[in-house]
């Protein structure tokens, strides 16, 4: 089986396993999604979703976040880890949105990448789930781990992994693949102890024998 056929087969299995898979972050607007995604770095979505209700109650939009007291933001996001840097990036991104993009989250990859704290992972999430625009494959820790375990890439850098996956999958399915494989990473293919005996992808996985 070619690598491309294998990738499509993996996607087919994942879509059957997780037919309702969607972004796990809670948000109401693109800027809230942007903020939540920045907070999700090296933190679980579950933890982020516990933090954002209070954050967004006080600072619901780009304007309020851009001109907020930084220490107040830090206190509100502290439990997500790296809170000072995250607060700085959130405020910096919102300030740039206000000054350069008329208060609206930009809708292109190039523009999103100009915002503090935004790399391709965050930009892909915002474009896909905030605007329905598919520009790439979101590569988080689950996507990185499973893509390597399944033999879809040999790379360790997210940007290169994304390029490899984009070559293997139809563009319309790029974000579906990311979301579905994230669900599988949480439910079955754990980082420390993958459950190969109950994994529906085991027959496609070259790493099964080593687990």
User: Which positions are catalytic?
Assistant: 121, 140
- How far apart, in Å, are the Cα atoms of 199 and each of 7, 14, 58, 150, 203? 16, 11, 43, 12, 9
67/59 Cα distance (integer angstroms): 10
61/38 Cα distance (integer angstroms): 15
- Rounded to a whole number, what is the largest CA-CA distance in the chain? 56
């Amino acid at each position: 089986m070619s690598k491309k056929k294998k990738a499509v087969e993996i996607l087919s299995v994942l879509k059957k396993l997780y037919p309702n898979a969607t972004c796990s972050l809670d948000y109401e607007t693109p800027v809230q999604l942007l903020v939540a995604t920045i907070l999700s770095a090296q933190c679980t979505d579950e933890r982020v979703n516990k933090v954002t209700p209070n954050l967004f109650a006080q600072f619901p939009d780009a304007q309020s976040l851009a001109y907020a007291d930084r220490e107040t933001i830090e206190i509100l996001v502290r439990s997500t880890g790296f809170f000072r840097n995250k607060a700085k990036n959130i405020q910096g991104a919102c300030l740039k949105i206000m000054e350069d993009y008329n208060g609206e989250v930009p809708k292109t990859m190039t523009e999103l990448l100009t915002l503090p704290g935004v790399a391709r992972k965050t930009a892909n999430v915002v474009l896909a789930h905030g605007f329905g625009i598919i520009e790439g494959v979101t590569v988080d820790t689950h996507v990185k781990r499973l893509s390597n375990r399944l033999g879809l890439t040999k790379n360790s850098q997210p940007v290169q992994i994304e390029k490899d996956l984009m070559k293997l999958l139809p563009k319309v399915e790029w974000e579906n693949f990311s979301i579905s494989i994230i669900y599988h990473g949480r439910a079955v293919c754990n980082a420390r102890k993958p459950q190969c005996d109950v994994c529906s992808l085991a027959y496609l996985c070259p790493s099964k024998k080593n687990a």
